[in-house]
Structure 1
Amino acid sequence: MTDEDLRIEVTSWLAAHWTGLPAHHESFGRDPRSAWLAQVRDAGWAVPRWPAEWHGRGLSDAQARIVERTFAEAGAPGAGQDRTNLWANTALAYATEPFKRVIVPQLLAGEVGMCLLYSEPGAGSDLAAVRTRADRVPGGWRVTGQKVWTSGAAVADYGMLIARTDWDAPKHRGISFFFLPMRQPGVTVRPLRQITDETHFNEVFLDDALVPEENLLGPLHGGWRVLQTALAYERSVMGDSARGPRSGAGGPKGDHAMIALAREVGRLADPVIRQDLAQVVAWRVLNRLNTERAKAELAQGTSSPIMSLGKLAMSRILHEEARLRTRLLGPESLLEGPDHPRAEDANFLSLNAYFTSIGGGTDQIQRNIIGERVLGLPKEPETDRTISFREVRAG
């Protein structure tokens, strides 16, 4: 099929099926657009690079991008999940065959809600220090422990869980990776109030929760490699985009929203403001190019340290844009509430920028990854890397 033939086919399919549903989805849990996403999946547009056996079309990366661009031009969601859906990509690479057959189609259609059960009170930046345990029982594993900072846990159907299955191995080699069913006895979710007055984050208590045999991803005790793949996709998404204004009424949206806001408040002619605007726009363009490069290098079932560049860059962009937005509004930024949407959005975005600085690995961790794995600088000393986890000191 030529590029033009493909473009015509995608355009014709969208003309026949796309009904103008909301293209943006920020809530957690099952996607309310799942009926549409199921159509996209069944037509092979959701994951065009994947083989037909897995709801794809086996297209090259260049032709898959034609599909994605055509969907984007129509404002239609759902295409290109073979680059962005961290749940489905991780499952396709590592899940057992029986579980994969069930879960991958559901993930592509947003028919199940997902969350990440990684961080613990004593294992945040150092995820290899997790102490949640998974003990072998007939038919699967019993899981006991605590997770924290879990977005969407209250409405999730499954959590991607890392738990310790071998306490005598070194810490990176005794971890296994599971899809934990969340709606069962033994799973308790408690919301955490955020600085933005939201409760997206939660702490999760696991008391003998059951993980079925087929829900193990990758080899037993080999979950660290699975985790690196999942983190690469997560950082790819966080480096590619970020949450916008909460109210939806606080001014222009999109890449050039800051320019439009400067024009709106009458400060676009200020040479210092223009210089700051040019800087944030340049950062966004550069970050987009870097993210595209990283995604092109991210083969199925692998990880890429370059994703950390995009994730770190997006953190810096969000903080700088929040500072500039506040500066543009001046004293108006001190206001809040629905009667002052521009100020409300400026304050929300200033506070929410810290989410990207922390979630998916802190800025400091990203700098370590970039220094060691991208720049080739010497690794920091790890005195506990080769000893049994039972011997690792815990504070």
Structure 2
Amino acid sequence: MTDDQVREDVRAWLAANWDPAMDRARWADLVFEAGWAVPSWEPQWWGRGLSDRQSRIVATEFAAAGAPGTGHDRANLFACTLHDLGTDEQKHRLIPPSIRGETKWCLLYSEPGAGSDLAGLRTRAERDGDDWVVNGQKVWTSFAKTADYGLLVARTDWDVPKHNGISFFMFPMRQPGVEVRPIHQINGESEFNEVFISDARVPDTNLVGQPGGGWSVLQVALAYERRLMGDLARTSRSARKPQADADSLIEMARSAGNLDDSLIRQEIGRVEAYAAVNRWNTQRAKATTDRAEAATLLALGKIAMSRILHETAKVQTEIVGPEAMLCGPDSPVGDAVTFRTLNAYFTSIGGGTDQIQRNIVGERVLGLPKEPEPYRDTPFRELPSSS
């Protein structure tokens, strides 16, 4: 189908089916059965076989109609990871409830001692019959309070090098032995949590990939996360935060009476230049059929979006001047700028820090030598530890 045919098809379907008063569960079923929830997936896996660009056309038309339910082929990391690497049984059992909104998920990756070096994780999973018994601690976990499943990486073999002894699980969150504690952030929110896991269980049927093969599964999941973060960075994550595009910056400068300031105009132009280059790079990532190249380009895109958000916050601060030091309902403009400035650090850390992304780009794009790895072939249990 051409892009215009896709647009006409989805518009006609929405006109015939969308009713804002419809029960949300019923609507989710309709979208799922029609293939609009994951339109870029294959028809045998509930999709329509569209391109990524056409999937975004679908999302645009749904948004224009005010209808939810599409975009899971980009935003649902749980479903996307299973779509790429899960068994047929896992796909049939776990993906449909997630797409229909019947189950929610979170990411159980980072640990207090394993952030940038995620392969240094110490949460352990030990086989016990048809289950794995999990013990450990995770941190910076968004939405852990409401999640039904966590995408969990845990160490299952301590006698091989650190990257080789990790396994990837779809971990049931609602069970004894799982404690979630919120983390209070500088911007006043508590989006992140600590998760303590004590003798909790995950069935072997929820193991994605092979035991000890979790690192490669994690790279696929991280690539989807980085793409999602790039998408989120292009839109407002909160009503308190102004949009990060040139048009909104121009309007803000016009309202503040300093649009004629040559420095501010130059800074707005720089933000738009970063955004344009990032759009081109994202298009390149979508066009390639090489998964390794796509993952590398998405790492570059994540750095770009982080830079764009920080630069946007800087320009907004320059536009509003001293008002940027204010927050609260009595100063809505200052409050929005303050929130963006503080929240920009979210994209510098989540999904892999900017520094880690630069390492990926340096090694895989520029061909720079890797950092020394003196313990590359050392069994994990023999690695030096400060704990």
The equivalent of 1:127 in structure 2 is: 118
CA distance in 1: counterparts of 2:323 and 2:118, whole angstroms: 42
Paired residue for 2:127, among 132, 136, 160?
136
**Number of equivalences:** 385
The equivalent of 1:195 in structure 2 is: 186
CA distance in 2: counterparts of 1:279 and 1:62, whole angstroms: 26
Q: CA 1:198–1:35 in structure 2 vs 1: closer, same or farther (change >3 Å)?
A: farther
Over the matched positions of the two proteins, sequence identity in percent amounts to 57
CA distance in 2: counterparts of 1:34 and 1:303, whole angstroms: 35
Paired residue for 1:112, among 96, 103, 109?
103
Larger CA deviation: 253-262 vs 143-152: 253-262
Cα deviation for residue 20 of structure 1 reads 5.5
The equivalent of 1:223 in structure 2 is: 214
The equivalent of 2:17 in structure 1 is: 17
8 Å Cα contact 1:96-1:216 kept in structure 2 = no
CA RMSD of aligned residues (A): 2.4
Q: CA 1:73–1:110 in structure 2 vs 1: closer, same or farther (change >3 Å)?
A: same
Q: CA 1:62–1:320 in structure 2 vs 1: closer, same or farther (change >3 Å)?
A: closer
Task: Give unpaired runs (5+ residues) of structure 1.
Answer: 22-31
The equivalent of 1:8 in structure 2 is: 8
The correspondence of residues 315-394 of structure 1 with structure 2, limited to 5 A, is 315-394=306-385
Paired residue for 2:34, among 28, 43, 66?
43
Deviations along 1:334-362, whole A, 9 cap, x unmatched? 22211211111111111111111111111
Q: Residue 274 in 1 paired to residue 275 in 2?
A: no
CA distance in 2: counterparts of 1:250 and 1:229, whole angstroms: 30
The equivalent of 2:146 in structure 1 is: 155
Deviations along 1:195-230, whole A, 9 cap, x unmatched? 111111111111011001211001111000000000
CA distance in 2: counterparts of 1:215 and 1:174, whole angstroms: 17
CA distance in 2: counterparts of 1:88 and 1:261, whole angstroms: 39
Cα deviation for residue 66 of structure 1 reads 4.3
Q: Which AA in structure 2 matches 1:343?
A: G
Paired residue for 2:286, among 275, 285, 295?
295
Q: Which AA in structure 2 matches 1:272?
A: L
CA distance in 1: counterparts of 2:234 and 2:272, whole angstroms: 17
Deviations along 1:142-187, whole A, 9 cap, x unmatched? 0001111111111111100000001111111110000110110010
Cα deviation for residue 386 of structure 1 reads 1.1
Larger CA deviation: 93-102 vs 59-68: 59-68
Q: CA 1:286–1:261 in structure 2 vs 1: closer, same or farther (change >3 Å)?
A: same
8 Å Cα contact 1:179-1:215 kept in structure 2 = yes
Task: Give unpaired runs (5+ residues) of structure 2.
Answer: none
CA distance in 1: counterparts of 2:200 and 2:227, whole angstroms: 31
Cα deviation for residue 268 of structure 1 reads 1.1
8 Å Cα contact 1:153-1:202 kept in structure 2 = yes
Q: Which AA in structure 1 matches 2:157?
A: D
Q: TM-score, normalised by structure 2?
A: 0.92
